[in-house]
Structure formats: C-alpha cells, structure tokens
Amino acid sequence: MPASRVLWIWLAVLVLARALLAFMPSMWGWGVNVQRFVDPSLAWFSWALMALALVPAFAKRGVAPMEKAGDRIARSRWAYAVLGLLGAALAWLMPDRVWFLGDFLIRMGNVEAGSLHTSFTQALPLDRWLHGSLLSFARGSAESANLALRALGAIEAGLLAALAVAFVRALRLTGIFAALAAGIVFFGGYLTMFTGLGKPASELCLATVALATFGVRAIDQRSSLLPCGLVMAGALLLHRSGVLLLPAWMFAVVLARRGSKRPVDVLGIGLPLLAGIFMIPRVVAIATGYDIEHHAGSLSLRQMVDLENLVLALSPLAIITPLLIVLRGRRMWERGDARLLVVLALAFLPALSLIHPQQGIFRDWDVFAPAGVASSVLAAFVVVETVAATPNRTWVGVSALALVVVSSIQWLALNHDQTRGLAQIFQPTDAFLLLDGNTCRIDLAFELSRTLEFVAAPELDGRQP
C-alpha cells in the first residue's frame, strides 16, 4: 500500500474520531474530543472543512492555492515578516482565558509581584530574565502582568512562524510542499504555550525548531555552526530540559563539520560547551533534588493513555510518522537532515516515558510541548516526502494541512472561551481522574476563584464569565 494512502487513512480516522467523541460522555480521548467543548458553530464548521479536505474532488481544488502560497513562503522576501505578523496576531487575538494550564496563575502572579527570583528556585538565568527582569515594567497589577505575558507570547508566536519559513527554506521546499511543511511546524497544540502562559515552554519550542533549521542548514548547505551553537547555549541557560537538545546538536556538529577549524565554527561549538560547564551541574542538582521526588514515576496503563492523548493534541501526525518512515524505506535514511530530525525527536522519548508531572499530563502538558514541536518537525519532513513520492496524490497534502490547522485552532479557541474551557476541566471522572495530582486538587478551588475574578475584570477585555 502506498505511504500516501496510509497517511490519508490516518487522517480519516482522526477526523471520524473527532466527530464520534463529540457525542461520548467520556474523557478517555481528551486529546481529540475538543469538538465536544468548543462552540458548536466553530466546531462543526471547522470539522466540515477537515472532512471535505479528505474528499479528492474537493482537496484537489486546494492544491493550486497551496502551490502559490508555498512558492511565496519559499521565495518571497516578505514571507518572514508577513507570516510572523500573522502568527503574532493569532496568539494575541486568542489569549488563554481559562488560566488552567501549568502554573499559569502563579507565573502571572510572579510578574505582578516581581517575585520570580524567589518563587521559582529551579529557574535558570535566561528564564529569570525573560519572565522576570524583562517584564518588570508590568509589576503592580494582574491586568498589566497578563498583558505583558500575552505580548511576549505573541512576539514569540511570530518568531515561530518565521522559523517555520526558515525551516522550509533550509529543506529547499517549494510549492505545495513548502506550505504543507510550514503549516505542520507552526500549527500544533503547542501554540497554547504562546497565549500568555509565561513559562519557558514557549522559548524551548522556538529553540527546538531553530536547532532543527540551523542544523539542516549546517549539514546540507555547509553553513556556519554558530547559529546552532547560540541556540544550544540559550536552551541550556533557559531550562533544565534544554539538555534534551544536546544529542541533536552534537549530531549536527559531527555531521556538518568533521575536523573544521574555522573560527566561527569553533565559536559555535565552544559556546554550548561553556554554557554546559556552568549549567549542567545546576541541572543535575535540580533533577536529583527536586524532579525525581516530584516528577518521577512508573509508566502505567493510565499514563500511556494520557501520553497518547498528549501526542494527539500536540502533534496529530506524530503517531503515524514512524510507520511512514518504515514504508519509505532506505531512502529516508540516506539524507543527513532526515537523520538529524529523527535524533531530535528520539531525544525526547525518555522525557515522555519517565517524567510524570505532579499535576497530571492534562494540566502540565507544557512540560512536553518541545517534544511535540520535535515530533511536528520530523512529521513535516516525512509527510512532505510521502506526498512528494506520489505526484498523482499531492492533494493528500491539502487533507493533512487542514487537519493540523483545525486541530490547533480548536485548542486555542477552547482555552480562549472561559466558560467552555472550564466545562472541559470539570468533567465528571469516568475511567480516570483528569485532575490527577494531589496538588492540583488542593489548589483548584483557589485558582478557579482567581480565574473568575481576573477574567471578569473589565480592564482585561470587557467580557464577563
């Protein structure tokens, strides 16, 4: 069976599952049952677009527009600015108003009080600067803190869109393939990290795409290793999970510059090493003194179900990617850029299987957002290769793009709608407890009251809960 047909079948399964789960009073499939909670008009209109995109007669009509859009992404000098502005606007216009994800309220409260330095003892220097010192002007009120974090997230969403363009150009894609790859990289459940959360998850998402992009350039185009080095050093200074990017960085260095002694490449290698000398002991101390006690655990059936839902929410094409790689065979492994992207994605597997957030995956999925980005970057490459291998079925690219765009937009819409977002959170438990951490259960009543208080404030956006 052609790989493109397998891809189409997977897309059809996901579209059907989203429709069926909208009518089922169960949260076993929380990663794909967003239809159940999003405003019905948006939910079913967007679902209809996904369903129509599966029909060849309709999908083929989208090929020509995608070709034109992709050529502009690949060649226009305005592509970075235009898509960057559109990405920033999307995050700005759809801020998170539920404030349930991760430590949303705590982070916003720290910006308000200017207390990040004392409240988050595990925070590394770049995290303290970005979400503390840089936003010091927003101290004094919840409204100003919220607006500052939203502004920072919107700017970073614009950077994510620009990096998606850079990734496409690094792979030298054009036409429908450029549009498809850029869309898969940008549109993921991880866009919820850019709507006011104020945690380093958003910057780590940027670092993951940037490392993939600059790594591909270094391998395929023999460009400088300095951009890779700057990204790697920044990730180590930002958060302890930045160490998960080290395997991909080292792979890029080995594959791109064997024996190179150019000063710029030496600097690109030396900066991460220098950052590592200072940061890795600190990371090890945090891991042994805090993470093992709070976030370690065995992989149970319940955990595996949560992880499956997490991957479907963050990167809907990630689960089918390994099968597509197998179907593509040896040709997929002959390219150094392909191997780099596989190494990048595999480096996050230990985190997915060993880290068990104390507030539960459903709430603390920011912990895994960079893993979702790494999966999407690999999926973008593999899906493009799959679609390109069957020229008479390029319309499947339209189907794939429709699914990832709708999935991401629905998550943004759900977190933007305070009433419907809270309805999802407070679903009666059936097979397992969504709020599956003692800390979460203890703090939830207080945090809900704070959410209602802040979201109802007319200074924020004038809307009532």
Return d(Cα 212, Cα 386) in angstroms, integer.
20
Q: What is the number of structural domains in the chain?
A: 1
Instruction: Specify whether the CB–CB gap between 146 and 460 falls below 8 A.
Output: yes
Instruction: Specify whether the CB–CB gap between 306 and 362 falls below 8 A.
Output: yes
Read off the pLDDT of each residue in 211-227 and give the average, rounded to a whole number.
92
Return d(Cα 414, Cα 159) in angstroms, integer.
23
Q: What are 373-414's pLDDT values in tens digits?
A: 999 999 999 999 999 999 999 999 999 999 999 999 999 999
Return d(Cα 384, Cα 184) in angstroms, integer.
10
- Percentage above 70 pLDDT, the chain: 88
369/258: higher pLDDT: 369
Residue 355: beta bridge partners? 296
Return d(Cα 285, Cα 239) in angstroms, integer.
13
- Percentage above 90 pLDDT, the chain: 64
| Residue 144, domain member (yes or no) | yes
Confidence of residue 101 (pLDDT cuts 50, 70, 90): confident
pLDDT of 296 higher than 80:
no
Return d(Cα 193, Cα 160) in angstroms, integer.
11
Q: Please indicate, yes or no, whether the overall pTM of this predicted structure exceeds 0.85.
A: yes
| Residue 64, domain member (yes or no) | yes
Q: Choose the weakest-confidence range: 123-127, 250-254, 293-297.
A: 293-297
Q: Residue 364 is encoded by which pair of tokens?
A: 């603390």
Q: Residue 154 is encoded by which pair of tokens?
A: 């919107």
Q: Residue 202 is encoded by which pair of tokens?
A: 């958003």
Q: Choose the weakest-confidence range: 151-165, 195-209, 233-247, 318-332.
A: 318-332
**Mean of all residue pLDDT scores within the chain:** 87
Q: What are 4-23's pLDDT values in tens digits?
A: 999 999 999 999 999 999 99
Beta strands in 145-257 (DSSP E): none
| Residue 77, domain member (yes or no) | yes
pLDDT of 44 higher than 70:
yes
| Residue 365, domain member (yes or no) | yes
Read off the pLDDT of each residue in 90-102 and give the average, rounded to a whole number.
93
pLDDT of 305 higher than 90:
no
Confidence of residue 456 (pLDDT cuts 50, 70, 90): very low
Return d(Cα 215, Cα 378) in angstroms, integer.
13
What pLDDT is recorded for position 459?
40
| Residue 11, domain member (yes or no) | yes
Instruction: Specify whether the CB–CB gap between 436 and 362 falls below 8 A.
Output: yes
What pLDDT is recorded for position 428?
54
Residues in CB range of 182: below 8 A, 6 or more apart: 70, 73, 83, 164, 165, 167, 168, 380
Q: Residue 422 is encoded by which pair of tokens?
A: 């809270």
Residues in CB range of 282: below 8 A, 6 or more apart: 124, 240
Q: What are 169-217's pLDDT values in tens digits?
A: 999 999 999 999 999 999 999 999 999 998 999 999 999 999 999 999 9
* Cα four-point dihedral sign 229, 230, 231, 235: positive
CA 237 to chain centre: 20
pLDDT of 430 higher than 60:
no
> At 387, is the secondary structure helix, strand, or coil?
helix
Return d(Cα 339, Cα 268) in angstroms, integer.
21
Return d(Cα 147, Cα 454) in angstroms, integer.
12
| Residue 345, domain member (yes or no) | no
Amino acid identity at 29 = G
What pLDDT is recorded for position 74?
96
| Residue 230, domain member (yes or no) | no
Q: What are 442-454's pLDDT values in tens digits?
A: 344 444 444 444 4
Q: What are 256-269's pLDDT values in tens digits?
A: 875 556 778 888 89
| Residue 238, domain member (yes or no) | no
203/286: higher pLDDT: 203
Q: What is the 3-state secondary structure (H, E, C) of 59-70?
A: HHHHHHHHHHHH
Instruction: Please return the burial class of 49, using the count of CB atoms within 10 Å of its CB with bins 0-12, 13-18 and 19+.
Output: middle
Residue 402: which domain range? 3-217+297-337+361-455
